[in-house]
């Protein structure tokens, strides 16, 4: 089957936010929660229990609900209307949400004690994001870019290897379609007004830009915004079965983007992946261990 990628005139910002449309409920249902000890670590760096945490790219509010356990108030900044609607459908007491971007939060200057970006910084233009973080953080404030390693540790090497194989196929498929899209009139969009430098990003379908997670810490140091930066790792333990393992892969933005472009599961290897995972993990609930890495920046 010959797949013809859609040509769009949307800005990279809007396209990036729309990348997570259409599966907010699935995302909220299966994605894991950040380890509790990260809250303790960030509070320790700040020096006391934070009064206000700002969560950039807050999605369906999973990370906001985590932060609400160790902070007095949490504000989630999310540009995606569908994701934000799911977040706002819950009454979480000390958690609120607003439409905004990582480089333009609309938050007052110097009000935040802690700013976090959970599973989100790789979709954000680094230079302008760090400048906005510096603006809204008070002196002594802390920033953390927190990401989860995929796949989760489920104690089955065959299933975990199948995840990597399938997701690599998905990513290669998108890269091919992104390159092919130039044949259908797509031109890489120019830099946005807020972008101070091109940056080393990957150009994906619909003009979406993605910055490598492995370079987060290096970019934070180079920004000059933070007086001290370091990486911290921790793990959380949850439960799941074969269906959750499958749904976690299907909750990835690259897979969902290809589905919107009409690519079927057979072509992506997802059909075979699902069959193998069901045969390996079955319906039995088992431990799912999620390894997280936090890139922490301290502002004196």
pLDDT tens per residue, range 152-185:
999 999 999 999 999 999 999 999 998 876 544 4
Place of tokens 């088992």: 286
Instruction: Extract the runs of DSSP E, i.e. beta strands, from the chain.
Output: 52-56, 73-77, 95-98, 112-118, 137-148, 202-203, 209-210, 228-240, 286-298
- In this predicted structure, what is the pLDDT of residue 197? 57
SS3 category, 146: strand
pLDDT digits (tens, 9 = 90+) for 117-130: 999 999 999 999 99
Instruction: Give the number of other Cβ atoms within 10 Å of residue 56's Cβ.
Output: 30
* CATH no. for 12-151+194-238+289-298: 3.40.50.150
- In this predicted structure, what is the pLDDT of residue 13? 80
Average pLDDT (286-294) is 98
Helix 157-180 to helix 270-281 angle (10° resolution) is 170
- In this predicted structure, what is the pLDDT of residue 51? 98
Q: What is the DSSP letter of 231?
A: E
pLDDT digits (tens, 9 = 90+) for 239-264: 999 999 999 999 999 999 999 999 99
Residue 53: pLDDT band (50, 70, 90) is: very high
Q: Which of 56, 53, 85 is nearest to 69 (CA)?
A: 53
**Residue 191 pLDDT more than 90?**
no
Average pLDDT (36-49) is 98
Provide the Cα torsion 250, 251, 257, 260; round to 10°. Answer: 70
Average pLDDT, the chain: 92
- In this predicted structure, what is the pLDDT of residue 207? 87
Return the minimum-mean-pLDDT range out of 44-48, 72-76, 207-211.
207-211
- In this predicted structure, what is the pLDDT of residue 17? 87
**Domain boundary assignment for the chain:** 12-151+194-238+289-298, 157-186+240-287
For the sheet with 286-298, list strands across it: 95-98, 73-77, 52-56, 112-118, 137-148, 286-298, 228-240
Question: 233 versus 10: which is more confidently predicted?
Answer: 233
**Residue 215 pLDDT more than 50?**
yes
Contact 202, 263 (CB under 8 A): no
pLDDT digits (tens, 9 = 90+) for 57-106: 999 999 999 999 999 999 999 999 999 999 999 877 899 999 999 999 99
Q: Which of 156, 162, 287, 139 is nearest to 227 (CA)?
A: 139
**Residue 4 pLDDT more than 80?**
no
**Residue 5 pLDDT more than 70?**
no
- In this predicted structure, what is the pLDDT of residue 183? 47
Average pLDDT (275-293) is 97
């Amino acid at each position: 089957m010959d797949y013809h990628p859609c040509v769009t005139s949307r800005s990279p910002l809007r396209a990036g936010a729309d990348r997570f449309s259409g599966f907010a409920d699935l995302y909220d249902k299966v994605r894991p929660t950040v380890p509790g000890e990260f809250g303790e670590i960030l509070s320790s760096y700040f020096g006391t229990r934070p009064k206000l945490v700002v969560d950039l790219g807050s999605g369906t509010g999973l990370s906001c609900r985590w932060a609400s356990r160790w902070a007095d108030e949490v504000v989630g900044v999310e540009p995606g209307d569908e994701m934000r609607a799911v977040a706002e459908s819950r009454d979480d007491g000390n958690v609120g949400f607003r439409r905004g971007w990582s480089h333009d939060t609309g938050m007052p200057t110097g009000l935040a004690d802690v700013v976090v970006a959970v599973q989100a910084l790789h979709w954000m233009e680094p230079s302008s994001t760090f400048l906005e973080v510096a603006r809204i953080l008070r002196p002594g404030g802390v920033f953390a870019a927190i990401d989860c390693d995929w796949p989760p540790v489920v104690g089955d090497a065959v299933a975990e290897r199948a995840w990597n194989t399938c997701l690599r196929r998905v990513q290669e498929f998108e890269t091919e379609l992104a390159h092919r899209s130039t044949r259908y009139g797509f031109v890489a969009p120019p830099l946005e007004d807020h972008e101070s430098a091109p940056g080393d990003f990957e150009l994906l379908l619909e003009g979406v830009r993605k910055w490598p997670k492995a370079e987060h810490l290096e970019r934070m140091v180079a920004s000059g915004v933070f007086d001290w930066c370091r990486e911290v790792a921790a793990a959380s333990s949850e439960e799941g079965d074969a269906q959750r393992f499958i749904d976690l892969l299907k909750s990835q933005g690259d897979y969902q983007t290809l589905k919107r472009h009409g690519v079927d599961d057979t072509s992506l290897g997802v059909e075979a992946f699902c069959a193998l995972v069901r045969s390996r993990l079955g319906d039995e609930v088992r431990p799912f261990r999620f390894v997280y890495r936090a890139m922490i920046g301290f502002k004196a």
